[in-house]
Amino acid sequence: MRDSLIAAAFRLFLERGYEQTTIDDIVALAGVGRRSFFRYFPSKEDVVFPDHEKCLADMTAFLEASEDADDPVVRVCDAARLVLRMYAENPTFSVQRYRLTKQVPGLRTYELSVVWRYERTLAAYLRGRFAARRDGTLRADVIASAVVAAHNHALRAWLRADGVGDASAEMDHALDYVSRAWTSNAPAGDAPAEEEDDVVVVITRRRTPMWRVVRDVEAGLGRE
């Protein structure tokens, strides 16, 4: 019945438009009553995003099952791949939803709220893992945002291509970009190069005037 309601809804959305389709229209086409619709979907918007609640629950369980030895950045990247898997399981439906969402401002707002919940789930896990760090909260929020941004970039590129191509390869490339920037296991050559600090040693008498000490330091730095 749930699948029948989703199929009926999208058939009407494509034929009439989202705004012109009512819940009564959907249940009439599906051959069920309004009570059956609300048993599965709290609102018309929810029928457009039917699997996100389950995916969010799967992501939460995946993060909670992580071990202390797991690299937290790699773990949240793997969690983001669960969302891609949901989209890739039904490319036709995912592309239809992408096109519909682009046309309806209310659905774009709803989608943003869903994405925000994913990001908060990732950030909550990272905050726990980075709790001992002075900048733990900042680091967690920045990494979670980066993972979501990379995921969305790859996912939308695949959707714009009508779901054709290797979505996993695109996602791996995008998430690897985040992982190499933030994971503790990143190769040393991938880290931004740090400028070497100049060190100047000045040997002087204890009673030497301070202006002369400063002059000698500047001379050593080549600032004369």
> 51-67, pLDDT tens digit by residue?
999 999 999 999 999 99
Arithmetic mean of pLDDT, 20-30: 95
- What phi and psi values does residue 57 have, to the nearest 5 degrees? -65, -40
Give percent of the chain with pLDDT exceeding 70.
84
Confidence (pLDDT) at 203: 72
Q: Which residue has the higher pLDDT, 74 or 196?
A: 74
Q: How far apart are CA 129 and CA 139, in angstroms?
A: 10
Same fold, 1-46 and 49-186: no
The answer as to CATH 1.10.150.170 being correct for domain 49-186 is: no
Arithmetic mean of pLDDT, 4-8: 94
What is the CATH code for 1-46? 1.10.10.60
Residue boundaries of the structural domains of the chain: 1-46, 49-186, 198-224
Confidence (pLDDT) at 208: 72
Report the sign of the C-alpha dihedral through residues 82, 105, 49, 115, in that order. positive
